[in-house]
Amino acid sequence: MSDVLGLLLYNRVGGIAYNTLRECELLGKVNREVRNTLQTMYNAAIIQQESYAKAAELLASVLRNIEVPYAVLKGIVLMQTYPRGCRTSNDVDILTAPEHVSAVAERLKAAGFRQGYIRNNRFVPATRKEIISSRMNRGETVPYILEADYPFMKFLEVDINFSLDYKPTDGESVRGMLKDGCQLKNGLRTLNPACFILHLCAHLYKEATTMSWIQMGRDLSLYKFVDLYLLLSHAEPDLCEQLLKTAESLDLTAACAYALAGTIQLFDMRNAALLRLSERLCRMHENILDVVIDPAGGKRYVYTIDFMQRIFSSHRQKYLKEVGDLGSSAYV
């Protein structure tokens, strides 16, 4: 059971496990030490959610009436969708077009945020080299950090994203995503449902198929697939059609194919409309679950074991085989 607990903790789904066991009236059948550990994760997640709500209110005041389009992403929105205690987050992600990064950054700096990293529970300012490198190679800024001192959230970290993959772009896809957004109750802006889901797909795809994330062991975090399961398990045909239409217009069919195929396999999903969408996307991108790229090295790889075999492996990199240079036709 210690291995199971480790996986739940590492994949940030301990709160979900506890809530599911409780809802199914199965807590009494679980080993006491396991049950107590899961309950601790769950209770901590509730406190962290409360702190995150305070952080969202703060950020809403910082960005109030800003004149450039932006959208908050992922956890700050999903915490309002999940049952209490089932979703946590380490930071806040903001999406904006490349030409509007400075406007958002100036608001954050005026509120006391500084660019840097948290190391040994202390703020370390980013160097100019790190700031430039992040913009050039990651499609996002070095985090903007504020010492908020909330329970379970000493520091509030905000990442400004201006690309949907690992590299900077002209921003066309980002601008397309930011059209027709919507507003949360706290005043923050987010994406429309189809674009929100597609951004989750793009984020998952970027990390799952890029060598540097695999080397860090951060490529296949289970909670990212759980997010998609939550949003898509009862997806109506109209939403699936909108996902396809938007994915095609924003050049995100590969990301969508990967994310949907992986989520469907993991959770044995039976939604007919979703299955049809996934099959159509996978016909466009054969073997999508097996391809990995290394932008820094200019190489392309494929996995030698299937998705379900490697999802919980802690040594996925050893199952990769080099098949050619990036951009070559060695593997399609």
Q: Taking the domains of the chain in order of start, what are their residue ranges?
A: 49-190, 192-332
Residue given tokens 């990064």 in the structure block? 101
Q: Left, alpha or beta for 203 (phi > 0: left; psi -120 to 50: alpha)?
A: alpha
Q: DSSP letters of 177-235?
A: HHTT-EE-TTS-EE--HHHHHHHHHHHHHHHHTBHHHHHHT-S--HHHHHHHHHHHTT-
Whether 332 shows a pLDDT value over 50: the answer reads: no
- CB count within 10 Å of CB 281 equals 25
Nearest one of 114, 71, 75, 111 to 94, comparing CA atoms = 71
Rounded to whole angstroms, the Cα distance separating 269 from 12 reads 21
Residue count of the chain: 332
Query: What pLDDT, on a 0 to 100 scale, did the predictor assign at position 133?
Result: 84
Query: What pLDDT, on a 0 to 100 scale, did the predictor assign at position 329?
Result: 42
| CATH 3.40.50 at 49-190, yes or no | no
The per-residue pLDDT for range 122-150, each reduced to its tens digit, is: 999 999 998 888 877 677 899 999 999 99
Query: What pLDDT, on a 0 to 100 scale, did the predictor assign at position 168?
Result: 62
Query: What pLDDT, on a 0 to 100 scale, did the predictor assign at position 136?
Result: 75
The per-residue pLDDT for range 97-115, each reduced to its tens digit, is: 999 999 999 999 999 999 9
Structural contact between residues 190 and 181, judged by C-beta atoms closer than 8 angstroms: yes
Whether 227 shows a pLDDT value over 60: the answer reads: yes
The residues facing 293 across adjacent strands are 210, 300
When mean pLDDT is compared over 122-136, 170-184, 269-283, the highest value belongs to 269-283
Instruction: Say which residue, 322 or 180, is predicted with more confidence.
Output: 322
The per-residue pLDDT for range 187-215, each reduced to its tens digit, is: 999 999 999 999 999 999 999 999 999 99
The per-residue pLDDT for range 54-85, each reduced to its tens digit, is: 999 999 999 999 999 999 999 999 998 999 99
